[in-house]
Structure 1
Amino acid sequence: MFGKGSKLNSIFTGSCPKCHEESMYLDKNPYHLSSIFKMHETCSHCQTRYKIEPSFFFGAMYVSYGLGIAFSVAAFIISHVFLGYNLKIAFISIGGTLVLFMPLIMRLSRNIWINIFIHYDKDWKEKI
């Protein structure tokens, strides 16, 4: 399920969606904010270009919106339903969650977006 060749592996590790051999990002840590968007141009193993077209990753904004909603709903349910905080504190926790997880949401949305268009190829070595 999370092994090499699965979309989830590439999404959660940020590895090349075609070969899963290396990270797409120059810095694997999304919390180094100065390099959050810095990516390799191509994969050094399978030569896959990550920016398929100019402004390719603008589409990841739509995915980011959905992930933000999911994190917000989770924060609300945890704070209001499970912990019993009032609505004011629950909504403050939503804001805190979004700020805290913003770098992770941004990276995950890019990873999901590129995995929609590029698929794992177990025979990538033969095609070079």
Structure 2
Amino acid sequence: MFKKGSKIYSIVTGVCPKCHQESMYYHKNPYYLRHVINVKENCSKCGTQYRLEPSFFFGAMYVSYALGVAFAVAGFVVSYFVFDASIHAIFISIIATLTVFAPIILRWSRSIWVNIFIHYDKEIAEKVKQNKIEQV
């Protein structure tokens, strides 16, 4: 389930959705806040272009909203059911959860969005592994 060739692998690790050989981002660490949203123009291994059109990643905002709600609900469930916290503590835990995980939510939303439109290609991945692909 979580190995090369799966969408989940590409989403969680932030690698090229076509070949899974290189990171889409200039810096792999999402907490390097200066470059958290800097996506490369294309994959240097297979040549896949990440921005399919101008303002392509604006659609990732919808995915980001859904992920934010999911993380907020998880923060609520943990603080309410596990720690039996007060309403104020629950509110603080939700805000803290969203603040701490904001860079991950942002990256995952972009990765999910690009993976909706670009699919893994086993043949290209094999050619890239064997260095038999010509750069575009």
**TM-score, with structure 1 as normaliser:** 0.96
The answer as to 2:54 corresponding to 1:41 is: no
- Amino acid of the residue matched to residue 99 of structure 2? V
The number of residues matched between the two structures is 128
Whole-angstrom CA distance in 1 between matches of 2:3 and 2:76: 32
Q: Which residue number corresponds to residue 76 of structure 1?
A: 76
- Amino acid of the residue matched to residue 35 of structure 1? H
The answer as to 2:113 corresponding to 1:108 is: no
Whole-angstrom CA distance in 1 between matches of 2:81 and 2:2: 31
Gaps of 5+ in 1: none
Shift of 1:82: 1.0
Whole-angstrom CA distance in 1 between matches of 2:37 and 2:78: 30
Which aligned segments of 4 or more residues in structure 1 are displaced greater than 2 angstroms? 125-128
- Match runs of 1:18-97 below 5 Å: 18-97=18-97
Shift of 1:66: 0.3
Shift of 1:127: 7.0
**TM-score, with structure 2 as normaliser:** 0.91
Q: Deviations over 1:20-75 (max 9, x none)?
A: 00000000001011001112111011100000000000000000000000000000
Q: Which residue number corresponds to residue 14 of structure 2?
A: 14
Shift of 1:91: 1.0
RMSD: 1.1
Gaps of 5+ in 2: none
Shift of 1:3: 1.0
